[in-house]
């Protein structure tokens, strides 16, 4: 099961608990503003994401759609996240996300047929 970026933000907020944002951010090795944005459901950059996963003691694969198969080989799942930019219309972002997920489903079905 892939956890959402919103769930990631809730886990970060839970780890911070009643501590101030500045103190928690210092422990997590990120800026207070960044910690606050992530807690509010914004997607961090890769470096920040890695630092926060380490801080909350969670495997990044839980959020990236990576599954571990029986042979311990990571198997990626497509997960679609778009940053809030006005350059992409909401309908376009949704269509791209659906296309990516449909392609993943078709590839998995093909793998299952070939693997038989």
Percent of the chain whose pLDDT exceeds 90: 32
Domain span holding position 82: 78-115
Q: With a cut of 50, say whether residue 24 has pLDDT above it.
A: yes
Domain presence at residue 70:
no
Domain presence at residue 73:
no
Q: With a cut of 70, say whether residue 60 has pLDDT above it.
A: yes
Domain presence at residue 33:
yes
* CB atoms near residue 86 (< 10 Å): 5
pTM confidence score: 0.57
Total structural domains within the chain: 2
pLDDT in tens, 69-115: 555 555 555 555 555 555 666 677 667 777 777 777 787 787 777 76
* DSSP one-letter string for 23-83: HHHHHHTS-HHHHHHHHTTPPPPHHHHHHHHHHHT--THHHHTEEE-TTS-EEE-------
């Amino acid at each position: 099961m892939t956890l959402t970026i919103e769930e990631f933000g809730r886990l970060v907020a839970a780890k911070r608990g009643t501590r101030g944002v500045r103190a928690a951010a210092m422990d997590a090795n990120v800026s207070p503003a960044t910690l606050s944005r992530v807690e509010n459901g914004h997607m961090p950059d890769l470096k920040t994401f890695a630092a926060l996963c380490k801080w909350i003691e969670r495997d990044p694969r839980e959020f990236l759609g990576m599954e571990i198969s029986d042979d311990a080989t990571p198997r990626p799942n497509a997960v679609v996240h778009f940053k809030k930019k006005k350059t992409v219309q909401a309908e376009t972002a949704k269509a791209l996300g659906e296309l990516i997920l449909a392609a993943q489903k078709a590839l998995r079905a093909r793998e299952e047929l070939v693997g038989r």
